[in-house]
Chains A and B, each alone.
Chain A
Amino acid sequence: MTIGNPMMYVGAVGLIMIGLFTVLSKRNLIKIIIGLTLLDTGVNLLLIAIGYIHNRTAPIITHAHADPSKMVDPIPQALVLTAIVIGLGVTALALALAIRVYGHYKTLDTRKIRELKW
C-alpha cells in the first residue's frame, strides 16, 4: 500500500460502530456477546492500523531484511497480541455466565430477566 488511504480507518471504526450498536440495542444475551466480539476485533484492527508506516516491512530480522530502520512499529503489535487472547478469555467467561442464566431462568431475553424477581 503506497497510496495513503483511509480505508483501514473506515473499516475499523465501522466495525466498532456495528459492535457497539449490537451491544446497545439487541435483547438476546448471546447476540450481545457476539457484538462484544465484533467490538474487540474492531479495536484491535484500529490499533494495528495506527502503527503502520508506508513502504516498510514486518519487524523481523532475516537474511534478506536486516535493516532495522525499515520496519513498522512493533509496540502496537505486542499490545494487540495480548489483547486478542484476553478477548477470548472474556468471551468464554461471558458465555459460561449466559449458560448458567439460561439454566436458571429458562430464557435469554434481557427484558424478561430483569422482570423476574426472587
Chain B
Amino acid sequence: MRAFVSFSILALIAVGLTLSLSHIPFGTDRMQVANYYLNHGVADTGALNLVTAVVLDYRALDTLGEMTVLFIASLGVGIFFSWPKKEGSEEDGKRGLPPASLIVRRGSQFLFPLILLFGGYIFLHGHLTPGGGFQGGAVIASAFLLMFLGNTGYHLRQKPLAVTESLAGITFVIIGLIGLGVSGYFLNNFLPKGSEFTLFSAGVIPILYAAIGLKVGAELSGIAANMFQSRSER
C-alpha cells in the first residue's frame, strides 16, 4: 500500500514536471525584467558583478529575509545542543581517537590564517569578481572546520562568535535604516558610486557584503562548534 502510494506520487510529479518543462525550450531568450537589470545595472548600482547588483541592490529585502532564516537555523541548533541530557544517555562522540600527528597539527595551524584571509578577499571583492558574502562566509567556516578536524580537543569559545554575528546583523539593518532616513527607501544605495573596477565603488554594497560575510562565517562556525564540542566544554 505504501509503495503504491509513493510510486503514484512520484509518477504524478514526474509527468507534471515533464509536461511543464516541454514548454520551456532549453537555452532560448525569455528575459523581460532581467533585460533592465542587465542594461542598467552598472549605471544604477556601480557594481560590475550583476548578480551582486541583483542580490544587494535591486532585491536587498530578500537578502534580509535569508539572513533571518539562517539566524533561526543557527539558533535552533544551539538550542538543541544545550538541552540538559538525561543521565545515563549516550556517551561522548570521541571514543578514544588517537591524537593527530605533528604534520597534521602544524599544517592546519599554518593554513588557518591563510584560509581566513582568502575568505575575507572573497567577500570584499564581491562587487568586482564572482564571489560575495555567502561564499566568503562558507570559506571562513571551512577554516574553523579544518582546525577542529586537525587538532583533537580544539576548543573554540562561542561568545566572540555570537557577538560577531549579532553585531554584523545589526550593522546590516542600521545601514538600511540610514538609507531610509537619507532618501526615503529602506536599504537604498546612498553612498557615491565611485569609478568602475576599483575596490571602493558601488556605494554601500561592499559594506553590506562584509557584514553578510562575517555573519554567515560566524553562524556556520557556531553550528560546527556546537556539533563538535560536548556540553561540558562550553
Contact = CB atoms under 8 A, between A and B. Distances in A.
* Contact, chains A and B (beta carbon distance below 8 A): yes
Interface string A43-80: 00000011011100011111000001101011101100
Interface in B40-98: 41-42, 48-51, 53-55, 59, 62-63, 66, 69-70, 72-74, 76-77, 80-81, 83, 85-86, 89-90
Report whether over half of chain B's contact residues are helix, strand or loop; otherwise say mixed. Answer: helix
B199 interface: no
B76 A82 contact: no
Contacts of B38: 59, 68-69, 71, 74
B26 A9 contact: yes
Nearest to A59: B50
A82 B63 contact: yes
Interface in B1-15: 2-3, 6, 9-10, 13-14
B31 interface: yes
Q: Which 5 A-B pairs have the closest CB atoms?
A: A89-B73, A54-B27, A96-B80, A24-B6, A59-B50
Given A5-B26, A86-B70, A96 B3 contact: no
B76 A58 contact: no
Given A17-B14, A24-B10, A52 B76 contact: no
Given A100-B80, A102-B90, A60 B49 contact: yes
B51 A81 contact: yes
A52 B26 contact: yes
